[in-house]
Amino acid sequence: MRKEDIQSKLDIIPENLEKIKILQTMDYEEFISDFRNIDSALHRLQTSIQALVDIGGYIIASLGLRTPGSSGEVIDILVEHGLLNKERRDQYIAMIQFRNRIVHFYNNVDLKILYQILQEELVDIKELYQRLILIIEKNP
């Protein structure tokens, strides 16, 4: 595996997290007062999570593992092969489910949950991102 093959996907995540920091400084009322804040948060989370899924898919294909049938199955395959910690599986799956909600039920995203994710849950994105990079670096 070569990081260069998926560098554009890898670059999206820290860039998005950096921009999300601006939204994190807002209190809830300020955050929801401008649709651009909400749209930005949704877009940045969606593209970050999708990039993680794509990177996971790249790892799976590079290692010749079975083809995932869904985004969540990317996590399951990586866990099955000991590449991701099984104790974190449910958090990663929940993250992907939230991305699915953004994509498919975009008009029904709870803004309080969105704000909570911005304030408390970004560690999951950072952690999975770092773990995927380690997998790539250990499997040249």
Chain segment 1-45, per-residue pLDDT in tens: 777 788 899 999 999 999 999 999 999 999 999 999 999 999 999
Architecture of domain 3-138: Up-down Bundle (1.20)
Backbone phi, then psi, for 17, in 5-degree steps? -65, -35
Place of tokens 């079975």: 66
Chain segment 111-140, per-residue pLDDT in tens: 998 999 899 888 899 999 999 999 999 987
d(CA 104, CA 16): 21
Position 69 scores a pLDDT of 93
Position 108 scores a pLDDT of 73
Three-state DSSP state, 70: coil
Chain segment 40-90, per-residue pLDDT in tens: 999 999 999 999 999 999 999 999 999 999 999 999 999 999 999 999 999
d(CA 88, CA 20): 23
Q: Which pTM does this prediction carry?
A: 0.89
